[in-house]
């Protein structure tokens, strides 16, 4: 399969012809990757079961892992769900378009393989001009998990998508690097409160300003209601170790592995990198927002090196740090407390 690529860099005038060509492929039941403010998504017509099946095939994604339906506006969101709790309007006003996915009662408008046979569906309005233009041109919900091979780090550039899926999908809309860098927050919208199924770009603290956030109780992952709950995700091509400690402790772990003849990459903020020696230093910037933005790109860089292990610092689980640690814990092969 030939994968067509359209270059629409963010911040420039969006080429309507490119959007029309990409939308035409989606209308024809094909798969097209496109940028959102979180990561690149692999899109297909969410109402077309055979089109959605191509997402699972291209990614090698398990069939029981539900997808998120992306829509252009509130009206399209309302067309997919039943029994919308009153507080959802307030959440939408505050955070949509944006990196927040609402898990609501499905009305059956989307194909059953989007919901993995569940009675609920995850829906969000992305905050990216290219994504919104494409969704408006389609005028139907677009199912779109991250545009990568299942289990690997999510793509934050079109080149990441190309690396994983060239020849497996029909098109890639290149809108430049994404912004947030980690996937959307997913919330299960109950009658009077919400449960966070996956932390992401909207924090628990932000959501609590509008609606109570309940702790998950006996949430089963046998039939996950959200992506990111059941399967191993975000894994780089070499082992990833999380080391919980200061620069001295991290340096000691690196020294032990170096003595064994292993080459070590260090994934950390600049304040740690300045104090520690390693075969390869991967900068995550200074703030937690920087870490989220740079995380997946750095995990992918290791593939092009000869290192044997990645060692990452452990980050505070406050704000977006909760999402960062959620991804790292799912990607890790070892944890050193």
**Mean pLDDT for each 10-residue chunk of the chain (337 residues)?**
88 86 98 98 98 97 92 97 96 98 97 95 97 97 97 95 98 95 96 96 96 78 59 78 97 97 98 98 97 96 93 96 95 91
pLDDT score, position 303: 86
Which among 199, 201, 202, 181 is positioned nearest to 292, based on CA atoms? 181
Count of Cβ atoms closer than 10 Å to residue 242 Cβ: 21
pLDDT score, position 291: 98
* Burial class for 274, CB neighbours closer than 10 Å (0-12, 13-18, 19+): exposed
Residue ranges for the binding site for ATP? 61, 65, 120, 144, 146, 154, 198, 234
CATH number corresponding to 4-214: 3.90.870.10
Architecture category of domain 240-336 in CATH: 3-Layer(aba) Sandwich (3.40)
Residue ranges for the binding site for L-threonine? 38, 70, 124, 184
Which among 159, 151, 181, 145 is positioned nearest to 296, based on CA atoms? 181
pLDDT score, position 235: 78
* Burial class for 11, CB neighbours closer than 10 Å (0-12, 13-18, 19+): exposed
Where along the chain do its domains lie? 4-214, 240-336
pLDDT score, position 337: 87
Residue ranges for the binding site? 38, 61, 65, 70, 120, 124, 144, 146, 154, 184, 198, 234
Q: Are 115 and 8 in contact (CB under 8 A)?
A: no
Q: Are 247 and 272 in contact (CB under 8 A)?
A: yes
Which among 37, 30, 109 is positioned nearest to 75, based on CA atoms? 109
pLDDT score, position 35: 97
pLDDT score, position 8: 87
Count of Cβ atoms closer than 10 Å to residue 38 Cβ: 29
Cα 213 from Cα 315, distance rounded (Å): 22
Cα 253 from Cα 240, distance rounded (Å): 13
Token pair 């029309």 is at which residue? 20
Quick one: tokens of 76?
Answer: 């399209």
pLDDT score, position 227: 61
pLDDT score, position 228: 57
């Amino acid at each position: 399969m030939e994968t067509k690529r359209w270059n629409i860099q963010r911040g420039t005038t969006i080429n309507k012809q490119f959007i029309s060509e990409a939308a035409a492929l989606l209308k024809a039941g094909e798969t097209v990757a496109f940028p959102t403010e979180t990561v690149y998504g692999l899109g297909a017509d969410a109402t077309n079961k055979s089109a959605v099946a191509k997402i699972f095939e291209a990614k090698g994604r398990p069939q029981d892992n539900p997808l998120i339906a992306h829509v252009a506006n509130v009206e399209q969101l309302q067309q997919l769900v039943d029994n919308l709790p009153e507080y959802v309007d307030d959440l939408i006003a505050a955070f949509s378009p944006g990196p927040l996915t609402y898990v609501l009662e499905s009305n059956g408008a989307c194909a059953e393989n989007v919901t993995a046979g569940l009675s609920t569906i995850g829906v969000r309005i992305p905050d990216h001009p290219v994504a919104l233009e494409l969704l408006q041109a389609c005028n139907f919900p677009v199912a779109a998990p991250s545009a990568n091979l299942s289990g690997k780090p999510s793509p934050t550039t079109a080149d990441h998508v190309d690396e994983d899926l060239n020849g497996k999908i029909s098109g890639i809309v290149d809108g430049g690097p994404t912004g947030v860098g980690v996937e959307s927050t997913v919330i299960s919208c109950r009658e009077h409160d919400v449960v966070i199924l996956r932390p992401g770009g909207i924090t628990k603290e932000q959501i609590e300003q509008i609606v109570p956030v309940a702790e998950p109780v006996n949430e089963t992952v046998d039939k996950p209601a959200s992506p990111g709950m059941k399967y191993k995700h975000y894994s780089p091509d070499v082992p990833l170790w999380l080391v919980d400690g200061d620069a001295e402790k991290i340096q000691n772990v690196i020294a032990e592995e170096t003595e064994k003849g292993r080459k070590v990459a260090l994934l950390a903020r600049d304040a740690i990198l300045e104090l520690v020696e390693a075969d390869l230093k991967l900068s995550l910037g200074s703030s937690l927002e920087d870490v989220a933005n740079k995380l997946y790109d750095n995990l992918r860089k290791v593939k092009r090196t000869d290192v044997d292990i990645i060692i990452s610092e452990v980050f505070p689980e406050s704000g977006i740090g909760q999402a960062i640690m959620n991804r790292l814990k799912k990607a890790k092969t070892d944890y050193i407390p």
